Amino acid sequence: MHSTASDGTDNPADLPRLCKAAGLSAFALTDHDTVAGVAACAAAAKKQKIDFVPGIELSVNPDVDNSGHREGTLHLLGLFVDPTHPWLGEITQTLAKARAQRNPEIIAKLNDQGVRIAYDEVVDLAGPGATVGRPHIAQVLVKKGYVKSVHEAFAKYVGPGGAAYARRDLISAKQAIDGVHAAGGLALLAHPVQLHLPEETRRGEALGHLVGRLKAQGLDGIETRHSDHAPADVARYEALADRLNLLTTGGSDYHGSRKSIALGAAAVPRAVYERLRDQAQRC
């Protein structure tokens, strides 16, 4: 789940209480490209007596094998990471600088098309200390009536192929996986449905090929259960993980009121958490 440290609307310290009230026994905080909320969340989780997984969701170059441009997004989850590890500090600063360069470029493109929003509006909406990104820009577009939903904002303006899209330099999958391992964590492919790969191509299974390449670079597992995954998706991803001998994980991808996803929406068996925990302890 996500907090106000990135693009969620709940304070990190409030999440453990909300999770406990929702009947969860364990949860992970995986803010986008930052671990700023982990310490406060961990302390609150200890008070609530709920198992907590310190994590991060890293934005990664989707062109894993240098075969050309991909339309989808590639995010890697780092679970059970040490938030104080130097690599995480370095990489989050690098990604923050890239966002800081890209965000004004998006605003300028919007203004050129007659969409009148200011970057200060986006920063104010995100709140103090937040990692400002496209979801915040999208929410301002909704607030000012240019679109009806965040989804429409991404499709029309700020997502890949959108009229105001601007790409930033991303770290490679290998960099992300090696860094997560250096920080003591497990590296897992997040919500593979958002890669927008075809289930199969004439050259073979596109997702299987991509995940195989990631495994060769050290990938530990796949997020099989997710609020965007239909039952058929879950079954396909579970089969792929089994075939490639990869761990599985899952979650709601809760963002608070910013998205309509309920906390705990994706049912994940307790055993999934325990397998991940045990593997992380062995690393």
Max mean pLDDT among 4-18, 56-70, 130-144 falls in: 4-18
SS3 assignment for the chain: CCCCCCCCCCCHHHHHHHHHHCCCCEEEECCECCCCCHHHHHHHHHHHCCEEEEEEEEEECCCCCCCCCCCCCEEEEEECCCCCCHHHHHHHHHHHHHHHHHHHHHHHHHHHCCCCCCHHHHHHHHCCCCCCCHHHHHHHHHHCCCCCCHHHHHHHHHCCCCCCCCCCCCECHHHHHHHHHHCCCEEEECCHHHHCCCCCECCECHHHHHHHHHHHCCCCEEEEEECCCCHHHHHHHHHHHHHCCCEEEEECCCCHHHCCCCCCCCCCCHHHHHHHHHHHHHC
Dist CA 49 CA 165 (whole Å): 43
pLDDT at 138: 93
β 186-189/74-79 pair status: antiparallel
Decide which of 63 and 190 is more confident: 190
Residue 267 is predicted with a pLDDT of 87
What are the structural domains of the chain?
A: 12-282 (3.20.20.140)
CB of 211 within 8 A of CB of 219? Answer: yes
Rounded distance between C-alpha atoms, residue 90 and residue 94, angstroms: 6
pTM: 0.85
Residue with tokens 């989808």: 72
Q: Summarize pLDDT for 5-39 with one digit per residue, the tens.
A: 998 999 999 999 999 999 999 999 999 999 999 99
Average pLDDT over the chain reads 90
Tokens of 88: 């995480």
Cβ 196 vs Cβ 84: under 8 Å = no
Length of the chain in terms of residues written = 283
Mean pLDDT of 63-72: 60
Task: Return the ∠ at Cα 261 (arms to 255 and 262), rounded to 5°.
Answer: 100
The 10s digit of each residue's pLDDT in 165-211 is 887 767 899 999 999 999 999 999 999 988 877 654 433 478 888 99
Percent of the chain with pLDDT over 70: 94
pLDDT tier for residue 1 given thresholds of 50, 70 and 90: very high
